[in-house]
Structures are given as C-alpha cells and as structure tokens.
Amino acid sequence: MPRAIWKGALNVGLLNAPVSLMPATHQDEIDFDWLKRDTLQPVGYKRVVKETGEEVAREDIVKAVKTEGGKYVLLSDEEIRSANVKAAHSIAIQCFVPAEDVNFLFYETPYYLQPAKGSEKVYALLREALFRARKIGIALIVLHQKQHLAAVIPTPQALVLNTLRWAIEVNDTEGLALPPKGVRGAGLSEREIAMATQLIDGMTEPWDPERYRDTFRDDIMAMVERKLAEGQADKVIETPPEPEAEAEETETDLTALLRQSLQGMTAPRTGAPARMPPPSARKPARTRAAKSGMH
C-alpha cells in the first residue's frame, strides 16, 4: 500500500474531516541510466559549490531566501513549518464552482484523499453532496513547503485533490500565430464546418483508457531485447537517420481532406489506435484517468 504524502484535515465551513493524501498516479516509463561511453561506468549527480566545484554533503546544505539587496536569510525546516502551522495541516476550501468552469490548463497533479478512522461519514457526505451538485471545491494546501491552489473533485468512489496552477503561471495566447476566432473570421464555410462536425461525430466513442498504451516504450524495450539477443548489451549503436518527410503543399483543399477523412471512417479499424486528441477544455485533464467520474 502506498505511503501517505500528507496528513491533515479537510475543512468545509464547520465540517472537519481528517484525511491523508495518497498518490493517485505512478510513472510507468523507461529509466535510462547514464553511463560513461568508453568504460560504461554509471554517471551520477553531485551537489557542488557553483564557484569552486567543491562537493557538498546533503547535511551541510541549508535553505535561504535571497533579498533584493543581495543578502541571504537562512531558514531552517522547523522555521518554515512554523510559519503557518494551521495552513500546513489543512485543506481549506475557499469556495465551490461548477466543475466545467475550470480550464484544463490549470490542472497539475491528482491525489486521492483518504479519510482517517472516524471521519468516514463526513468524508462520504462531502463526496456525495459534491457529486450530486456537480461542483468542485477550490482549496489551499501546503505541500512540500509550498502553498498550492487545489481542486477537491468528487468521483463515485473517492474525493480527489488535484493541485492547480496559479493564474500567473498559465500563459495566455498573446503572441501566438493563431487564426482569427469564429467561422467567418477564420475564413471557413458552413459546408466545411458541417463536414468536420460529421467527422467528429463519426469518430466519437466512449472513453476507454485501457485501449491506449505507450507504444514508444514497447518499441524501446523490443530494441533492448533484440540487442541482448544479438550480444550487443555493451555496445553503443547509433540509431539510423529518420527518413526525410515529404514536402507539404503550401495550400490544402480543406473540403477534400474532410471528405477523405469521412470516407475513411467507413473502413474497419486495424492496427494500433490513433493518438489521443488534446483533452476537452471543459473537463479536468488529469482526473479523467479513471473510467468513472462526475458524469
């Protein structure tokens, strides 16, 4: 069973539910080791003084905040924890908002909230009430000595805390080379919109996360197995160059492409599924990994 990342209380008005924060995701990726090319010796990381290159032991490192005048103010872990004891041990709900109001760009990392013994009823009350109201809680929490904005999201089984980016951390679209908004502004015809909508409808299906897998990881591991079988476990082989992509046409008949896509929908699907499209801006991006949610 995974260890709790944080323990404290979920506070909603006068309601108080002691909870622990549990990991909701884990990494399933290849862990590439760094080796020295000629000797294949592992390469590690060192903490060094930037000016001299002197290695520094972990116990000799302290935390500090640099002031505008260039001076450093040292802070111990105890001082950081004592700065706001209440904030460090509570999930303070600030308000509730419709779930679809929070743009997916704000979502960061999801965690499960697990009730402490004796707080199951309050926990269940908040979960069921939020689920029925189709609302999420906007909260503040201190994790790893840093305050985070967060969303408390109900699922049929659990409450999920998803850390959020601060508004100042989300870039706007100013400066991007984007087409004008609107059908007319972008120079699209109603026929093109209708055909694109038909294409989208034809490719719409229930969300099934089990259908998708990391095929790049599979390809890497297949290469590793092949090199092992060929006795090349200790050799460095340069990967062959990628074939040059065909030059794209400067102008594209959008209607023709849509028609071809619609025609292609009638053929049975074979091979690996297509890549996932970007998540909808009206649903939390990181909380949809489970099949069931608020819908």
Three-state secondary structure along the chain?
Answer: CCCCCEEEEEEECCEEEEEEEEECCCCCCCCCCCECCCCCCECCCCCECCCCCCECCHHHCCEEEECCCCCEEEECHHHHHHCCHHHHCEEEEEEEEEHHHCCHHHEEEEEEEEECCCCHHHHHHHHHHHHHHCEEEEEEEEECCEEEEEEEEECCCCEEEEEECCHHHCCCCCCCCCCCCCCCCCCCCHHHHHHHHHHHHHCCCCCCHHHCCCHHHHHHHHHHHHHHHCCCCCCCCCCCCCCCCCCCCCCCCHHHHHHHHHHHCCCCCCCCCCCCCCCCCCCCCCCCCCCCCCC
CATH number of 163's domain: 2.40.290.10
Assigned domain for 65 exists: no
Looking at the structure, tell me whether residues 159 and 198 fall in a common domain. no
Assigned domain for 99 exists: yes
Looking at the structure, tell me whether residues 18 and 95 fall in a common domain. yes
- Show pLDDT as tens, one digit a residue, over the chain (295 residues): 678 888 888 988 888 888 988 888 887 767 777 777 777 778 877 888 888 888 888 888 888 888 888 888 888 877 777 766 566 788 989 999 999 999 999 999 999 999 999 999 999 999 999 999 999 999 999 888 788 999 999 999 999 999 999 999 999 999 889 999 999 899 999 999 999 999 999 999 999 989 988 888 788 878 878 877 777 766 544 445 666 555 454 445 667 767 777 887 765 554 444 443 443 444 444 444 444 455 4
Looking at the structure, tell me whether residues 191 and 151 fall in a common domain. no
Q: Which residue segment(s) compose the domain that 262 sits in?
A: 185-205+255-266
Looking at the structure, tell me whether residues 193 and 140 fall in a common domain. no
Looking at the structure, tell me whether residues 145 and 193 fall in a common domain. no
Looking at the structure, tell me whether residues 11 and 141 fall in a common domain. yes
State how many domains the chain has.
Answer: 2
Looking at the structure, tell me whether residues 199 and 149 fall in a common domain. no
Looking at the structure, tell me whether residues 115 and 201 fall in a common domain. no
Looking at the structure, tell me whether residues 98 and 197 fall in a common domain. no
Assigned domain for 284 exists: no
Looking at the structure, tell me whether residues 161 and 191 fall in a common domain. no
Assigned domain for 118 exists: yes
Looking at the structure, tell me whether residues 98 and 20 fall in a common domain. yes
The answer to whether the pTM exceeds 0.85 is no
Looking at the structure, tell me whether residues 144 and 260 fall in a common domain. no
